[in-house]
């Protein structure tokens, strides 16, 4: 009898000490999409978290393989080959829906987000893990591609059968797939029982739940200087995506050529240092951040309105900051900013 009481007591103690610990920060890093994916959760179930991260790793490796624009034999590479040959290809439901969303965002952004310009991106040397040195492509080469005007409106879908009327269309999801995938990751974590998490790929992130009693708070990197330009509380289900010209670029004779290309001119964006978008749809936010970088300091409010966005921050190459009123009301600057322009509602 005595030992039964002791065992019961001990069991109770173990349970109580487990409860005492409460939720804690759990963190793991994966290497996917060529960047580090940082997964953080506030949970009292570390084992479940570890298992969920292992599942996510598999999902992300598969997406990386299938949606890569120029490497391997994934679905997108095969689709691009078929379209170049004037043939249609049956794709998976997932890629089909991804491409249909991309098509809609391209149309909404007046094709400033144009994932059909894979050939142009390749010509600029951004279809390699390490962008090349050396001179930029020649104007005639750029113009030769531009005159075919590849666009998502050339692409049509019959179910998941994808075809194009323009053999110069080559799809590149580099401006869109990351946001879409971050959204999926948050959904998958939720499905596995991890309710309070941040999934962060180099500053692009989606969030679920809260960090205990308070919302998750994140920093937006300064595109021109050091550290964080502003912090913002992110609500359950929201994503924060930034396109910047500081991450990937090539350089020749002191001139930097960023990896975001203006599909109208064929040349890299020059006057926007970064565009940040907050939305519950990661793919939309990612596509939009790219489109608004291309739109530039004058035209971005029109494109943001067309894409249905209310929360945007743009930083131009001089450090001037442009905000929507909704963005202004929720961010806190962490550094001196000389000039801030807020659009009217
Ligand atoms: P980041 O990778 O810094 O988040 P983006 O989301 O803007 O930046 O993605 C840039 C990538 O998108 C480029 O490397 C290229 O593959 C592709 N891209 C470049 N310009 C465009 C554009 N105007 N529309 C669609 N995709 C683009
Ligand atoms: Mg983008």
pLDDT digits (tens, 9 = 90+) for 269-328: 999 999 999 999 999 999 999 999 999 999 999 999 999 999 999 999 999 999 999 999
* Per-residue model confidence (pLDDT) at position 139: 97
Q: Residue 122: how many CB atoms within 10 A of its CB?
A: 17
**pLDDT tens, 165-213?**
999 999 999 999 999 999 999 999 999 999 999 999 999 999 999 999 9
Is 70-164 the same fold as 8-65+182-342? no
Domain spans of the chain, in order of start:
8-65+182-342, 70-164
List of E strands, the chain: 24-32, 35-43, 89-90, 155-158, 161-164, 197-201, 204-208, 216-221, 228-234, 239-244, 249-252, 255-258, 272-279, 312-316, 321-323, 331-333, 340-342
- Mean of the per-residue pLDDT values for the chain? 93
Q: How far apart are CA 323 and CA 310, in angstroms?
A: 10
Assign a CATH topology to domain 70-164.
Answer: T-fold (1.10.3980)
Cα 176 to ligand 2 centre (Å): 5
Enumerate the β-bridge partners of residue 248. none
Residues flagged as binding site for Mg(2+): 175, 286, 290
263 lines ligand 1 (CB under 6 A): yes
Nearest CA to ligand 1 atom 6: 175
DSSP one-letter code for 261: B
Query: 111 near 302, Cβ under 8 Å?
Result: no
| Helical (H) or strand (E) element with 327 | helix 325-328
292-222-208-300 Cα dihedral, nearest 10 degrees: -10
**pLDDT tens, 111-125?**
999 999 999 999 999
pTM over 0.85, yes/no: yes
Residue 3 has pLDDT above 60, yes or no: no
Question: For 149-164, what is the mean pLDDT?
Answer: 97
Query: 89 near 58, Cβ under 8 Å?
Result: no
The two structure tokens encoding residue 114: 């144009």
245 lines ligand 1 (CB under 6 A): no
CA 63 to chain centre: 14
* Per-residue model confidence (pLDDT) at position 199: 98
* Per-residue model confidence (pLDDT) at position 4: 53
Question: For 49-53, what is the mean pLDDT?
Answer: 97
* Whole-Å CA distances, 268 to 174, 175, 264, 332: 15, 14, 10, 30
Residues flagged as binding site: 175, 286, 290
Q: Residue 147: how many CB atoms within 10 A of its CB?
A: 8
Q: How far apart are CA 146 and CA 316, in angstroms?
A: 26
Nearest CA to ligand 1 atom 4: 243
261 lines ligand 1 (CB under 6 A): yes
340-225-125-303 Cα dihedral, nearest 10 degrees: -10
DSSP one-letter code for 196: S
Mutate to test the pocket of ligand 1, among 244, 257, 260 (most ligand atoms within 8 A of CB): 260
Mutate to test the pocket of ligand 1, among 35, 174, 270 (most ligand atoms within 8 A of CB): 174
* Per-residue model confidence (pLDDT) at position 129: 82
* Whole-Å CA distances, 136 to 48, 121, 219, 255, 257: 49, 12, 34, 10, 8
Q: From the CA of 113, give the closest atom in ligand 1.
A: 24
CATH architecture of the domain covering 8-65+182-342: Roll (3.10)
Residue 19 has pLDDT above 90, yes or no: no
Query: 291 near 306, Cβ under 8 Å?
Result: no
Q: How far apart are CA 306 and CA 107, in angstroms?
A: 10
Of the listed ranges 13-17, 223-227, 253-257, the least confidently predicted one is 13-17
Q: How far apart are CA 304 and CA 293, in angstroms?
A: 11
């Amino acid at each position: 009898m005595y030992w039964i009481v002791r065992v019961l007591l001990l069991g109770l103690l173990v349970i109580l000490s487990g409860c005492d610990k409460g939720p804690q920060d759990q963190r793991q890093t994966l290497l996917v999409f060529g960047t580090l994916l940082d997964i953080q959760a506030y949970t009292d179930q570390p084992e479940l978290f570890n298992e969920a991260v292992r599942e996510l790793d598999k999902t992300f490796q598969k997406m990386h393989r299938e949606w890569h624009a120029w490497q391997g034999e994934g679905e997108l590479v095969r689709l691009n080959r078929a379209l170049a040959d004037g043939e249609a290809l049956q794709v998976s439901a997932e890629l089909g829906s991804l491409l249909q969303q991309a098509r809609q965002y391209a149309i909404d952004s007046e094709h400033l987000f144009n994932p059909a310009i894979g050939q142009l991106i390749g010509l600029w040397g951004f279809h390699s893990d390490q962008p090349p040195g050396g001179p930029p492509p020649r104007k005639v080469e750029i113009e030769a591609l531009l005159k075919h005007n590849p666009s998502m409106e050339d692409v049509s879908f019959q179910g998941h059968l994808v075809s194009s009327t323009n053999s110069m269309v080559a799809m590149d999801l580099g401006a869109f797939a990351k946001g879409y995938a971050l959204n999926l990751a948050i959904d998958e974590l939720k499905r596995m029982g991890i309710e309070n998490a941040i999934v962060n790929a180099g500053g692009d992130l989606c969030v679920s739940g809260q960090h205990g009693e308070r919302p998750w708070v994140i920093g937006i990197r300064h595109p021109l200087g050091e550290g964080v330009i502003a912090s913002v509380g992110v609500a359950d289900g929201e994503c924060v995506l930034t396109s910047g010209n500081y991450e990937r670029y090539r350089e020749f004779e002191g001139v930097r050529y960023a990896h975001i290309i203006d599909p109208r001119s064929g040349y890299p964006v020059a006057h926007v240092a970064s565009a940040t978008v907050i939305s519950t749809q990661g793919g939309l936010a990612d596509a939009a951040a790219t489109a608004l970088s291309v739109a530039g300091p004058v035209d971005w409010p029109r494109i943001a309105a067309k894409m249905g966005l209310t929360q945007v921050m743009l930083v131009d190459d001089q450090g001037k900051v442009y905000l929507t009123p909704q963005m202004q009301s929720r961010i806190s600057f962490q550094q001196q900013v000389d000039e801030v322009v807020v659009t009217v509602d």
